């Protein structure tokens, strides 16, 4: 993939001459489709106040799952209540997982992503749909729960505190059809669980296509929060050993295909345990 070298040099120079100290050299990983332009860490003082705890809702869905639109409605209801403190991702695996719900042939909406399969196989493969996860936390019903239980799970998680802040910045380069996303994580306290990953996702809403519903096929169904791409690995990329005051800044580039409407997209970043899988903090931002 071609990268605007002038933009890269400017971004890199800005970071290196900043007031942050104890920085590590930038790391460029050319092995991923969505390239990591920058990976630097440093300590800051004074340490900022902790953000309010935001919650991640992952809705596992399929185009041939007739009850999945009801789960999507519940997710929207919760979004209307919690606004910026709730991030929703609709996970649409491909036909290699629960094909009776996910195979879009012959003419259902093609909104599936194989990377979602990779994630679900790592977490816990669902046996049915609709199903979802609230901060990837077991609230007594397993890691995944049915949508009538989502509201309670969201309230429980939102009442918690977090020891990691997440900041997001986006910039779109129209000539290259690329979205640059800068993610900064700042630890306000040293956590007990030091095995932490970060995941960065791009989702899209207002996608129109065919979906099964309780009353039959809806040819003009509106899909929302569909996961289009992971900039990190689907299971997340490792973060340095967290300590109070540690800041980690990373920059990624998403290639934006012509059939994606960036005005309907948002980026979601979240920090989570690589062992327990629990999400410690989430943050979302409109792509443009």
Q: Rounded to two decimals, what is the model's pTM?
A: 0.88
For 42-53, the pLDDT digits (tens) are 999 999 999 999
| C-alpha closest to that of 235 among 277, 181, 180 | 277
CA distances from 92 to 14, 43, 166 (A): 38, 38, 26
Give the start-to-end residue ranges of the domains of the chain: 55-286
- pLDDT for 34: 66
Give the list of residues 6+ apart from residue 76 with CB closer than 8 angstroms, or none.
224
Domain 55-286 is found in CATH 1.20.1730.10: no
Token pair for residue 187? Answer: 């630890």
- Only one residue has tokens 């869905």, namely 61
Evaluate if residue 13 carries a pLDDT over 80: no
- How confident is the model over 184-236, as pLDDT tens digits? 999 999 999 999 999 999 999 999 999 999 999 999 999 999 999 999 999 99
pLDDT at 10 over 60: no
């Amino acid at each position: 993939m071609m990268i605007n070298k002038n933009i890269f040099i400017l971004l890199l120079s800005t970071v290196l001459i900043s007031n942050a100290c104890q920085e590590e050299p930038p790391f460029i990983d050319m092995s991923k489709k969505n390239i990591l332009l920058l990976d630097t860490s440093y300590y800051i003082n004074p340490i900022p106040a902790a953000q309010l705890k935001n919650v991640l809702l992952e809705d596992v869905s399929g185009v041939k799952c007739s009850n999945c639109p009801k789960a999507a409605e519940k997710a929207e209801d919760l979004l209307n209540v919690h606004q910026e403190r709730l991030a929703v991702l609709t996970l649409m695996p491909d036909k290699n997982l629960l094909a009776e719900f996910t195979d879009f042939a012959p003419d259902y909406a093609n909104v599936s992503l194989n990377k979602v399969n990779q994630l679900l196989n790592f977490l816990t493969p669902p046996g049915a749909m609709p199903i979802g996860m609230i901060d990837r936390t077991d609230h007594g019903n397993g890691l995944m729960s049915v949508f009538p239980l989502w509201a309670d799970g969201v309230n429980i998680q939102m009442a918690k505190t977090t020891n990691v802040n997440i900041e997001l910045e986006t910039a779109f380069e129209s000539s290259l059809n690329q979205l640059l996303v800068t993610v900064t994580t700042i630890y306000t306290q040293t956590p007990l669980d030091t095995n932490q990953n970060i995941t960065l996702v791009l989702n899209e809403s207002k996608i129109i296509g065919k979906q099964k519903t309780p009353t039959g096929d809806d040819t003009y169904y509106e899909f929302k929060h569909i996961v289009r791409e992971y900039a990190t690995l689907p299971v997340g990329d490792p973060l340095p050993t967290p300590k109070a005051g540690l800041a980690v800044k990373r920059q990624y580039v998403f290639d934006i295909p012509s059939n994606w409407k960036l005005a309907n997209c948002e980026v979601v970043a979240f920090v989570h345990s690589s062992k327990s899988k629990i999400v410690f903090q989430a943050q979302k931002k409109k792509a443009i």
